[in-house]
Chain A
Amino acid sequence: MTRFKMPLLTLAATLLLALSMAFGQRLVVSQGIDVPGFDPHGHSNAAMEAVLVNLFDYLVWKSVDGEFEPGLATSWEPIADDAWRFTLREGVVFHDGTPFTGEDVKFTLERLAGDDGLAEFVNYRQIREVEVVSDHEIVIHTDGPDPLLVNRISRVGSGIVSKDYVERVGWEAFATAPIGTGPFQFVNWIRDQEIEMAAFDDHWRGRPAFDTLLHRTIPEDSTRVAELMTGGVDIITNIPEQDQDRIGTSNAARVELAPSNFVMMVVFNVREGTETADPLIREAIDLAIDRDLLVDGLMGGLGVPTAARLNPGISAAPIDRYFGVNNYDPERARELIAEAGYAPGELTINMYGASGRFALGAELTEIVGVMLEEVGFSTNVDIREFSAYSSTVWNAGAFEHMVVTGLGNSFGDNWFAMRALLCGGQYDDRVGWCNERFDELMNAAETEVDPTARAEMLHEATDIVAEERPWITLFQRQDLVGVSSDVEWTPRADGMLWMFEATPAN
């Protein structure tokens, strides 16, 4: 009997190997939400873009560390104040086999810049025209100098589509059967269940290591974790902090820390007549908040305190001066309250927060409130469901003193981070802060193409915001990503689930 055991085992192993080769290597990735469709320009959401980057390429790609690197463009340079030349990669084909040319870039970028119904229109309309010099050379003309052009075309919405295909089938059909030049090609989509993609053999970077890429939508965090632990999925995002150890100690998967460009912050109302118009009060609030405690106690260590809206990877930002800084000095905060003329407990700060948008957003607001009470403020904490908060508090500009919120930075640039604070800008009518010098610097930086000069301007602008405190920042948020032991993959700072970089372990 034993004589037959070894040959039988060998036969079984060979069969299994043959079967796995026949079915190919499959990688399953899971997030809590699904894409709304596959029109890469029809949304403004990083989690959705995270999926679409597998199907579409940008002209300029960002490395894991956020450095620009060639994508569909092999090189680029400014040739005038308002024009950039891009040399396009040769030999690139779309998933249907048609070649990629400058006409596709023109079609894509001019759509983004011209259709005000698209969510990302406002971030692309600076593009005036895309001039096709030849099949593999284009010039992008902008409305005035645009130092952010490369950031602009390497982010949400920048996926290049096939002009020929869209003109043949229309956008409606494209949204459910897309064609791109990305490492994976579309196979099937079952809404809110799964998206199936197959490795694209003719991808210009080479063939991805996995034959099939499946994106599954699993809204419940604990279910996503259970699927990772049982091998049902290989990579999951947004792991609850409390599940970190459970996954870490299992042999099935590991937990990786994913930095993000997302900063939690407090925005003040500084209009005349409100108590927070007094810089002493804003400073007292700033010094009352212990960011280390927030990160360690509330966020389970997932974050880094920061004293400005920046983090490593953000261009033209004084990272060294502000990142990792915890402006916490409760004694000084008490003195400032007294200097402002209030007895302990006399001044009530009305603060608002949202639930359901940011991880632990409601709890964060409450704890910040407790910290303010520690130094001698009274507080009214008002937490509303996000869309109610958004329409009745934030967009209505209806908050007396402060809101606790969070903001991402899809451009990865410091100008983008502070643009909302310009006089007459997005925040002016809500918070009433306007600073001439800040505007001068920001307006100059908006059109300054020399990176050094631009960085200097933006460093000074950052200092003004830190000094005047129309907003104060709390911490850079970090996320937990679970990766199966069978897969090699490192999470990216921009949150993109780009699976060209994933390979089987061993």
Chain B
Amino acid sequence: MTAYILRRLLQMVPVVLGITLIVFLLVRASGDPVAIMLPDDASQEQIDLLRRSLGLDRPVMEQYFVYLGNLLQGDFGMSLRFRNQSAFEITIERLPATLQLAGAALLVAVLISLPAGIVAATNRNRWPDRVASTLSVIGEAMPNFWLGIMLILIFGVQLGWFPVSGRGTPAHVIMPAFALGTALAALLTRLMRSSLLEVLNQDYVRTATAKGLRRRTVLTKHALRNGLLSYVTVLGLQVASLMAGAVVTEQVFAWPGIGLLAIQAINSRDMAIIQTVVIVASVVVMLANLLVDLLYSLIDPRIQYA
């Protein structure tokens, strides 16, 4: 097991290196940070001076190798926007907010999808199934920024139940978590339903029912555990889309996580921050995938890692 984890961790190194090259080149291809940092009628001299002071006057590949060299020593560079401040420190400082939001969204998704999927599967083609399926389609179809704005208007402005934006009390996380978690809840409900239906048709479930076990026991002991396998797989894969969704959700709710940091960094072409956010987010996603693979062996003892 330990060897497997170590191997997986080592495999991340070339992936991260590839990511650094891609993001480094993309950021430079997409625009000039100096143009954004200075007023539009800044003189050419003003532009040249700033470009030189930021090291942007050197060839791109030279800049990349300097960056890589620094990266290997743990130096992610300095933020352009927050001048003279470490990009890594700024990014890491924001990670807990995003993890809190993603965790809360995941919780929302699981708390909705698990019971809804089970109810839908066990009531196949009856009204609870139809209601769950319809809501799933609606949930998946709603863009999360629109849902966020609607939640703000209804529960923030009209009813005044929750704070509109920002991060502070536990109440602050509720609306963003719903905005981010709803689409995932919808996807997982449909997945839970179909995978449970498949399992419920298996011979061993029929056998369990035939030998007189209670319906609840059949469901929880025999069907659900097997049905959860694909559920957990998709849950793990969806961590990436939660991180991506957080970018929009954090913007709408002024939630100070790495998504909001990324948007602000892109707007100001803060290269060091964009690169660091992408690297940190990639590592989080890869670690989440590793965690899911490890969870498999807990859910399905047949799977062994060596």
Binding site for B on A (CB under 8 A): 33-34, 36-37, 39, 42-44, 116-117, 119, 121-122, 171-172, 175-176, 190-194, 216-220, 222-223, 226-227, 229-230, 232, 356-357, 385-388, 390-391, 394-395, 405-408, 410, 420, 425-427, 429
Note all chain A residues with C-beta closer than 8 A to B153: 226
Chain B nearest CB, measured from A167 CB (Å): 17
B85 contacts A405, CB within 8 Å? no
Note all chain A residues with C-beta closer than 8 A to B82: 36-37, 191
Which listed residue (A192, A223, A386, A425) contacts B252, Cβ 8 A?
A: A223
A223 contacts B165, CB within 8 Å? yes
Q: Which 5 A-B pairs have the closest CB atoms?
A: A387-B31, A390-B35, A391-B32, A117-B53, A193-B256
A426 contacts B44, CB within 8 Å? yes
Chain B nearest CB, measured from A320 CB (Å): 25
B43 within 8 A of A: yes
25 contacts between A and B (CB under 8 A): A43-B37, A116-B49, A117-B49, A119-B38, A122-B45, A122-B49, A172-B84, A175-B83, A176-B85, A190-B256, A191-B94, A192-B260, A192-B264, A193-B167, A219-B254, A232-B166, A356-B267, A387-B31, A387-B35, A388-B31, A395-B32, A395-B47, A407-B40, A420-B43, A426-B44
A219 contacts B53, CB within 8 Å? no
Q: A36-B82, A223-B252 are in contact. Are A218 and B42 (CB under 8 A)?
A: no
The docked-state distance in angstroms from the alpha carbon of A385 to that of B244 is 21
B30 within 8 A of A: yes
Which listed residue (B32, B79, B264) contacts A387, Cβ 8 A?
A: B32
B31 contacts A390, CB within 8 Å? yes
B253 within 8 A of A: yes
Which listed residue (A44, A119, A219, A391) contacts B263, Cβ 8 A?
A: A219
The docked-state distance in angstroms from the alpha carbon of A223 to that of B172 is 14
B60-91 at interface with A (beta carbon < 8 Å): 79, 81-85, 90
Q: Which of A117, A219, A388 has the most CB of B within 10 A?
A: A219
Which listed residue (B47, B53, B253) contacts A116, Cβ 8 A?
A: B53
B254 contacts A223, CB within 8 Å? yes
B218 within 8 A of A: no
Note all chain B residues with C-beta closer than 8 A to A232: 163-166
Note all chain A residues with C-beta closer than 8 A to B163: 232
A223 contacts B50, CB within 8 Å? no
A220 contacts B251, CB within 8 Å? yes
B226-268 at interface with A (beta carbon < 8 Å): 251-254, 256, 260-261, 263-264, 267
Q: Which residue of B lies closest to A171 (CB)?
A: B84
Q: Which of A386, A407, A429 has the most CB of B within 10 A?
A: A386
B254 contacts A220, CB within 8 Å? yes
Chain B nearest CB, measured from A126 CB (Å): 13
The docked-state distance in angstroms from the alpha carbon of A427 to that of B41 is 8
The docked-state distance in angstroms from the alpha carbon of A24 to that of B68 is 51
Q: Which of B31, B40, B251 has the most CB of A within 10 A?
A: B40
A119 contacts B37, CB within 8 Å? yes
Q: Which residue of A lies closest to B267 (CB)?
A: A356
Q: Which of A172, A227, A405 has the most CB of B within 10 A?
A: A227
Q: Which residue of A lies closest to B45 (CB)?
A: A122
Note all chain B residues with C-beta closer than 8 A to A122: 42-43, 45-46, 49
B212 within 8 A of A: no
B190 within 8 A of A: no
Contact with A along B149-181 (1 / 0, CB 8 A): 100110011001001111100000000000000
A395 contacts B93, CB within 8 Å? no
B14 within 8 A of A: no
B39 within 8 A of A: yes
Q: A36-B82, A39-B83, A122-B46 are in contact. Are A219 and B264 (CB under 8 A)?
A: yes
B166 contacts A193, CB within 8 Å? yes
Note all chain B residues with C-beta closer than 8 A to A388: 30-31
Q: A175-B84, A386-B36 are in contact. Are A216 and B50 (CB under 8 A)?
A: no
- Since A218-B254, A407-B39 are in contact, a sample of 5 more A-B pairs with Cβ atoms closer than 8 Å, ordered by chain A residue number, is A36-B82, A116-B53, A121-B49, A192-B260, A385-B31
The docked-state distance in angstroms from the alpha carbon of A36 to that of B83 is 7
The docked-state distance in angstroms from the alpha carbon of A482 to that of B47 is 35
Chain A nearest CB, measured from B36 CB (Å): 5
The docked-state distance in angstroms from the alpha carbon of A44 to that of B268 is 13
Chain A nearest CB, measured from B270 CB (Å): 9
Note all chain A residues with C-beta closer than 8 A to B37: 43-44, 119
Which listed residue (B79, B164, B167) contacts A226, Cβ 8 A?
A: B164
B139 within 8 A of A: no
Chain A nearest CB, measured from B262 CB (Å): 11
Contact with A along B89-101 (1 / 0, CB 8 A): 0100110000000
B117 within 8 A of A: no
Note all chain B residues with C-beta closer than 8 A to A222: 149, 152
Which listed residue (B42, B44, B264) contacts A429, Cβ 8 A?
A: B44
Q: Which residue of A lies closest to B40 (CB)?
A: A407
Chain A nearest CB, measured from B224 CB (Å): 40
The docked-state distance in angstroms from the alpha carbon of A420 to that of B39 is 12
Chain B nearest CB, measured from A355 CB (Å): 12
A191 contacts B256, CB within 8 Å? yes
Q: Which residue of B lies closest to A192 (CB)?
A: B256
A220 contacts B164, CB within 8 Å? no
A223 contacts B38, CB within 8 Å? no
B30 contacts A410, CB within 8 Å? no
Q: A37-B85, A122-B49, A172-B84 are in contact. Are A426 and B256 (CB under 8 A)?
A: no
B193 within 8 A of A: no
Note all chain B residues with C-beta closer than 8 A to A223: 149, 152, 164-165, 252-254
Chain A nearest CB, measured from B259 CB (Å): 11
Note all chain B residues with C-beta closer than 8 A to A119: 37-38, 46, 50
Chain B nearest CB, measured from A482 CB (Å): 14
Note all chain A residues with C-beta closer than 8 A to B39: 44, 407-408, 410
B9-38 at interface with A (beta carbon < 8 Å): 30-33, 35-38
The docked-state distance in angstroms from the alpha carbon of A59 to that of B160 is 45
Which listed residue (B41, B93, B260) contacts A426, Cβ 8 A?
A: B41
Note all chain B residues with C-beta closer than 8 A to A385: 31
B85 contacts A387, CB within 8 Å? no
The docked-state distance in angstroms from the alpha carbon of A230 to that of B152 is 10
The docked-state distance in angstroms from the alpha carbon of A501 to that of B84 is 33
A230 contacts B164, CB within 8 Å? yes
Note all chain A residues with C-beta closer than 8 A to B53: 116-117
B32 contacts A219, CB within 8 Å? no
A216 contacts B166, CB within 8 Å? yes
B254 contacts A426, CB within 8 Å? no
Chain B nearest CB, measured from A67 CB (Å): 24
